[in-house]
Amino acid sequence: MLKQIIEDALNKQIKVEAESSQIYLAMASWAETEGLGGTAQFLYKHSDEERMHMLKLVQYVNERGGKAIIPELVQPAKNYKSLPNLFQTLLDHEIMVSGDINNLVDICLTEKDYTTHNFMQWYVAEQIEEEALARTIMDKLNMIGSDKGGLYLFDRDIESISVTTGATGKV
């Protein structure tokens, strides 16, 4: 049985992951309307992954005798100034999510809930990977600058951009 404080913290994280999915879905849709088809596909996939992160938490809370709460979500931004602006927003968002995950892990230790602590390790590893990926993308965009040919190639090749130090081995 989950302690109430752990259940509340997990439900808070469910909302964070659901909002992440919504934000990346909005980014994908924006990229698609800007003719950035490769970026759009990358972000649609990223949005699906965030939904999976949410679902994993929902099922864990329910399995442990808690009650997962499916949250109301805020509407994400509709427009981005540029591709670097979009990916900087994504990187900042992932850094914020990492902070949330670390807080949750901290609560697990304080409350001596080692089962949830163990469950959360997957998220800790995932955050290392997601931040690294976002940083790799920003490095590439900074190198490209305003070169149109470079941006064209970036959009074409984004799906093959991956991190080699990823904790789970997937992009």
Which of 121, 36, 16, 21 is closest to 82 using CA atoms? 36
Nearer to ligand FEO, 146 or 165 (CB): 165
Q: How far apart (Å, rounded) are the C-alpha atoms in residues 124 and 105?
A: 9
- Binding track over 69-108 against ligand FEO, x by CB under 6 A: -------------------------x--x-----------
Min. distance of Cβ 100 from ligand FEO in angstroms?
A: 9
Q: 133 with 161: CB under 8 angstroms? A: yes
Closest by CA position to 10, among listed 100, 76, 94: 100
Of 34-73, binders to ligand FEO (CB under 6 A) are 50, 53
User: Which single residue brings its beta carbon nearest to ligand FEO?
Assistant: 53
The contacts of residue 17 (CB under 8 Å, 6+ apart) are 50, 51, 53, 54, 57, 97
Cα→Cα distances 48→72, 105, 110, Å: 18, 24, 32
Q: How far is the CB of 166 from ligand FEO (least distance, A)?
A: 13
Tell me the closest approach of the beta carbon of residue 4 to ligand FEO, in angstroms: 24
Determine the Cα–Cα distance for residues 140 and 52; give it in Å rounded to an integer: 27
117 near ligand FEO, judged by CB under 6 A: no
Q: Is 19 in the site for ligand FEO (CB under 6 A)?
A: no
Among 130, 141, 151, 163, binds ligand FEO (CB under 6 A): 130
Please give the residue ranges that form the binding site for ligand FEO (CB under 6 A): 17, 20, 50, 53, 94, 97, 130
